[in-house]
Amino acid sequence: MYERKIPVDLSCPLRLTLSLIDSKWKTCILDELRHRPMRPSELHRALPEATPRVLDMQLRELAADGLVVKTVYPELPPRSEYSISELGLSLVPIIDSMLQWGEQHRDLFERKYRP
């Protein structure tokens, strides 16, 4: 698991929140899981730009932070599934605001990222 070299500023609520969702894929994972529990392979298909290794690492971090819950089914072959927790659901309004802002400013991204 990733260990921070610089400690999180506990006096700043913004930095505390960002410390949980500060990676490229965590908000996307939470956005996917808000609809239904998913197996890791389903998340990999839903987010094909992310490498499986990165998604697996970020799923572990989200689970360690209590934002998602991993359920392992005692079957052969073993099967696991991730679902969003109550704490993770509390971030959905923030994710919705980010989605809305991105949609409202789509032209900015078109200019920036289109050749």
User: 3-state DSSP call for residue 105?
Assistant: coil
pLDDT at 77 over 60: yes
Backbone angles phi, psi at 54, to 5 degrees: -65, -45
Please check whether residue 69 is in contact with residue 82, taking contact to mean a CB–CB distance below 8 angstroms: yes
Q: What's the pTM? A: 0.86
Domains in the chain with CATH codes: 14-113 (1.10.10.10)
Tokens 């990222």 found at: 113
pLDDT at 4: 62
pLDDT in tens, 54-72: 999 999 999 999 999 999 9
pLDDT tier for residue 11 given thresholds of 50, 70 and 90: confident
